Amino acid sequence: MHTNNTISSSIADIHLAVEILQQGGLVAFPTETVYGLGADASNARALQKLYAIKGRPTNHPVIVHLADIEQLSEWGQDIPPIAFELGNAFWPGPLTLILRRRETVLDEVTGGQGTVGVRIPDHPVALALLKQFGRGVAAPSANRFGRLSPTRADHVRADLGHDIDYILDGGPCTIGVESTIIDLTQDFPTILRPGMISLADLNKFLGIETETATSKTTIRVPGALPSHYAPNTPLEIVPLAQLPEKIEQYQQENISVALLTCAPFKTNLPPSHRVLGSNTPQHYAQTLYANLRQLDTLGCQRILVEAVPNEGLWQAVFNRLQRAANTFASIQGEATHV
């Protein structure tokens, strides 16, 4: 595998990455949300390789990354005007639109569904790659299926380094959690995954743009929480007020604990076992996956995470923490996979 050692990828690096994509290879690249593992979205064999390396079930669809909104009609059909309005308002940016697929779109992209997910990422390296490649790049997050998403090139190297052809290094991701996904193929726009473009941002936008249908454009977040984005260490979410007794309980049971809180927290846990998130959802999200990775390397028996609000921009963080905790719950038989 070739890797470049500079933080910002050079023009030569992007050139090489484009050649690898053209030859059916796999290239990890930075986006503003998380690193993606890219393959030519029109090359079935490249996509099959991508699924195999990720260890991802083949009925899971992948997002097609584009450089320009003009390319939408190559992937979607019967595209509603709202798709172009949302794209013009939020792209490049952390928003994925689900559209009806064109018949030419490969089943390997759509997971055999009648829909396709598309987005234009807001990262100079990703945009340069997509522009030069000129076609759609299918890219799930560049991690093994079900594990934590990578937000730095060295995360990708650690997870997939030996199995992929190239890693473009664009520094740490600025958003840190995956894009907001909005399904535009139903009667009403529906959020399938919350992200840092919030429900309020979208509601405001849709409300303004569709005056007569304001009451119909209510967005619902499905309650289903598949286990996903999980560290290896069982993770539990605990309200701040209950943290002291929870830590004490585990210490009495000789269960080793690592801790992630929003603000400094007084405890007798060793400093190496404590990680500070942030009081703001933007900063918390930016470092969430790197923080969980760090706590995961300690080899503790539990990661305890201070509960965060399920509102506003915190919803994106709340959702990822719930999913990470769900893996633990499902091991204990308390939750079902979706």
List, in sequence order, every beta strand (DSSP E) within the chain.
2-3, 27-29, 36-40, 63-65, 95-100, 115-119, 137-138, 166-167, 180-183, 190-193, 235-238, 257-261, 274-276, 302-306
Collect all residues with Cβ–Cβ distance below 8 Å to 155 and sequence separation of at least 6.
35, 143, 148, 289, 290, 293
Part in contact with ligand TXA (CB under 6 A); list of ranges 45-53, 113-121, 205-213, 324-332:
113-121
Q: Which of 129, 139, 202, 300 binds ligand TXA (CB under 6 A)?
A: 139
Q: Is 33 in the site for Mg ion (CB under 5 A)?
A: no
C-alpha neighbours within 13 Å on the C-beta side of residue 303:
29
Closest approach of Cβ 212 to Mg ion, in Å? Answer: 37
Part in contact with ligand TXA (CB under 6 A); list of ranges 55-63, 82-90, 240-248, 290-298:
55-63
Place of tokens 């050649």: 19
Q: Is 181 in the site for ligand TXA (CB under 6 A)?
A: yes
Q: ∠ CA(167), CA(172), CA(173), 5° rounding?
A: 95
CA distances from 293 to 53, 307, 328 (A): 20, 18, 16
Part in contact with ligand TXA (CB under 6 A); list of ranges 9-17, 61-69, 270-278, 325-333:
61-69
Nearest residue to 269 (alpha-carbon basis) of 295, 288, 293: 295
Q: Is 34 in the site for ligand TXA (CB under 6 A)?
A: yes
Q: Is 174 in the site for ligand TXA (CB under 6 A)?
A: no
Q: Which of 46, 50, 97, 116 binds ligand TXA (CB under 6 A)?
A: 116
Q: Nearer Cβ to Mg ion, position 141 or 287?
A: 141
Q: Nearer Cβ to Mg ion, position 141 or 267?
A: 141
Q: Which of 33, 71, 286, 287 binds ligand TXA (CB under 6 A)?
A: 33
Give the residue closest to Mg ion by C-beta: 141
Q: Which of 43, 174, 179, 326 binds ligand TXA (CB under 6 A)?
A: 179
Q: Which of 62, 153, 230, 238 binds ligand TXA (CB under 6 A)?
A: 62
CA distances from 164 to 11, 34, 227 (A): 20, 17, 25
Nearest residue to 270 (alpha-carbon basis) of 291, 247, 292, 289: 247
Q: Is 319 in the site for Mg ion (CB under 5 A)?
A: no
| Residues 23 and 117: beta-carbon distance below 8 Å | no
Sites for Mg ion among residues 126-145 (CB under 5 A): 141
CA distance 122 to 95: 10
Residues that bind ligand TXA (CB under 6 A): 31, 33-34, 36, 60-63, 94, 96, 98, 110, 113, 115-117, 121, 139-141, 178-179, 181, 192
Residues that bind Mg ion (CB under 5 A): 141
